[in-house]
Amino acid sequence: MSKSQSDHHQQQLDPQTQFKSNNIIFPPETLARIAPHESLQQHLQLGLRPSLRKFNEFQTLDLKNGGISRYDQLLNDDSTNNSNSNSNTVLGSSIIKSGSSTVIMCVISAGIVEDSIDLVNDYRLKLDKDIIDSELAESNNGLNPDDDDAMEGIESNNNDTTNADKNETFRNFASVYTTTAINPPHFKPPTQNEIKLSQQLYTLIQTSKLIPQDSLKIPINLKSTTLNPQTGEEETVYITPQELAEVGLPQATNKSYHFVLYANLSIYSSLGDGDELLDLCFGALCKALKDVKLPLVYIEDKLSNGSSTNGKDSGTSSSHKMLASRGFKNVELFNVELICDSEKFTKLKLNDSKIGWFSSFGIYDLKPSSIDTTGKNNSKENEKAKQIILCDLEGDAEQDIFKRVSVLNHKDGSLGYVGIKSGSKDENHLKITKDVIQKCLKLAKFRSDDLLKEI
């Protein structure tokens, strides 16, 4: 606003607004800091957002594989890095850059868990459906039966009648144990936002049925080394469980195991720390999951000797250390007998149709401009505030927009999740209209169609 314009307005507006808007003039950056709402309002009235994007303009995204997983490194190996990649347990990674600043790096690793009988043959399945329903009605965490302290999971409009079915189906799908860190490293324990983000990601992955439990099952091979009579060199042979079954031999072990996936998301130089990060984190997680390669697991033939036993020895101590680093102390580990081959792997099978893109929108009640830029009298005084949709919220001021619509679109066109936050009890605020929601859904579809090609 130029000086002459503001002088002009002084004569027309009532004294209070004069003082507010005209006597003191701040440069935009200062105003954004001291009065974010005012700054946001003024920007939006001009048809621009503080980030100079248009209302419906998304941020540019750069989505790539991280290239730090052990298999990436094996492929690019050009030096004597054998020992290096040997201890690397990263199975998949991705990196996402949004706009000019925010960078999210997602790293996925895994652990091995013995199948509990509880999981395979759940007592709940045997009970009457009534009991299940009443049980679920008591516990509000209907979505996530495994997790007792689902702190702030995605709220869903739980329908009691469908809940039991849901639970049974979710049991067949796994999720990723996620930890997030915003602007790491910091000295503090995880903040509320980080905890919330991790939990939301966990729940979203599980409810979207992206990872079938079966794809995490570990076929346990037997390893054996034989001498090749022709070359005189030792050869490693793996005997798969199918081969064992064909010959009629007992399986390598009577226990069954599955992988659990861990993800670690580091969010660098993000301007916000709220819901808008969920979009990007979910994208990064999906991209990284696509990259995950699960190692071939075997039980070592006890008679074989050589380098592999050394690897085993160092492994037992390292597993203790890894547990300790993850917060578990004094854990008694039974002797590790499952070993992963250093090079052989299978790709993690995902429900590709369920890969999704999460988009969230801010809904803002734009009041009609109090400053008439054309210089005429305030003819618009009686005009009602109108709702506008802001895509990819960014920055402090936009973060305070409490009305949100978030949509998860799957690749197959189905909707995974729709969340609507209608905001405060402030009487002035407008309810989110059907039109706005429809428009949000359309925008989300458009965005996900565009981005899911890259995942």
Which residue number, 172 or 183, has a Cβ lying nearer to another protein? 183
Residue 19 engages another protein in binding (rule: CB under 8 A):
no
Q: What residues from 38 to 77 belong to the interface with another protein (CB under 8 A)?
A: 68, 70, 73, 77
Identify the H or E element spanning 223: strand 220-227
Q: How many CA atoms lie within 13 A of 232 on its CB side?
A: 0
Q: What residues from 162 to 221 belong to the interface with another protein (CB under 8 A)?
A: 177-179, 183-187, 189-190, 195, 198-199, 202
Q: What residues from 238 to 267 belong to the interface with another protein (CB under 8 A)?
A: 260, 262, 264, 266
Residue 258 CB, nearest distance to another protein (Å)?
A: 10
Which residue number, 48 or 119, has a Cβ lying nearer to another protein? 119
- Name the β-bridge partners of 358: 408
Alpha carbons 121 and 59: distance in angstroms, whole number: 47
DSSP label of 34: H
Say if residues 451 and 61 touch (Cβ distance below 8 Å).
yes
Which residue number, 182 or 371, has a Cβ lying nearer to another protein? 182
Residue 36 engages another protein in binding (rule: CB under 8 A):
no
Which residue number, 84 or 438, has a Cβ lying nearer to another protein? 84
Residue 329 engages another protein in binding (rule: CB under 8 A):
yes
Joined tokens for residue 292: 């995950």
Residue 230 engages another protein in binding (rule: CB under 8 A):
no
Which residue number, 15 or 189, has a Cβ lying nearer to another protein? 189
Q: What residues from 143 to 172 belong to the interface with another protein (CB under 8 A)?
A: 149
Which residue number, 56 or 88, has a Cβ lying nearer to another protein? 88
Position among 44, 61, 63, 90 found at the interface with another protein (CB under 8 A) = 90
DSSP label of 367: P
Alpha carbons 358 and 411: distance in angstroms, whole number: 11
Residue 77 CB, nearest distance to another protein (Å)?
A: 7
- Name the β-bridge partners of 108: 92, 263
Position among 100, 140, 379, 438 found at the interface with another protein (CB under 8 A) = 100
Backbone angles phi, psi at 213, to 5 degrees: -55, -30
Contacts of 116 (CB under 8 A, 6+ apart): none
Identify the H or E element spanning 420: strand 415-421
